[in-house]
Amino acid sequence: MKDTQSKISSDVSLPVNPELEQLQQLVVDAQTRLAELEVEYAKEKARVDVVRAALFRRLRERYEKRDRLRLIVGYRQRFLNSLGRGDEGEAKQTEENYEKARRQTGEDYEETTVTMAERRQLTAGEERELAQHWKKLVKMYHPDRFASQPDKLETYQRLTSAINHAKDCGDLKTLKEIAEDPHGFILRQGWVNLDFSDETKLSQLRRINETLQLEIIKLIESLNRLKESPDYELFQLSEQRPGVLDELAAERAEMLDQERVELEIRAGQLAEEIAELSGQKPSRIV
pTM: 0.75
Confidence of residue 285 (pLDDT cuts 50, 70, 90): low
CA 224 – CA 36 distance, rounded (Å) = 15
Q: Residues with Cβ < 8 Å from 12, sequence gap 6 or more?
A: none
Give pLDDT tens digits for 7-24.
Answer: 444 444 546 678 888 988
Going by pLDDT thresholds of 50, 70 and 90, the confidence category of residue 2 is very low
d(CA 284, CA 286): 5
Query: In which region does residue 280 sit, left (phi positive, over 0), alpha (psi from -120 to 50) or beta (all else)?
Result: beta
Residue-level pLDDT at 122: 82
Is residue 30 scored above 90 in pLDDT? Answer: yes
Pick the more confident residue, 146 or 192: 192
Query: Higher pLDDT residue, 127 or 44?
Result: 44
Helices (H) and strands (E) in the chain, counts: 10, 0
Cα four-point dihedral sign 102, 69, 114, 43: positive
What's the chain's average pLDDT? 87
pLDDT of 71 over the 90 cut: yes
Residues 28-55, mean pLDDT to the nearest whole number: 93
pLDDT in tens, 105-152: 999 999 999 888 888 888 888 888 988 999 999 988 876 778 788 888
What mean pLDDT do residues 227-239 have?
Answer: 95
Arithmetic mean of pLDDT, 153-181: 89
Where exactly are the structural domains of the chain?
Answer: 41-122+228-286
265-279 per-position pLDDT tens digit: 999 999 999 888 887
Q: φ and ψ at 191, to 5 degrees?
A: -90, 165
Q: How confident is the model at residue 207 (pLDDT cuts 50, 70, 90)?
A: confident
Q: For residue 45, what pLDDT is reported?
A: 92
Residue 204 pLDDT exceeds 90: no
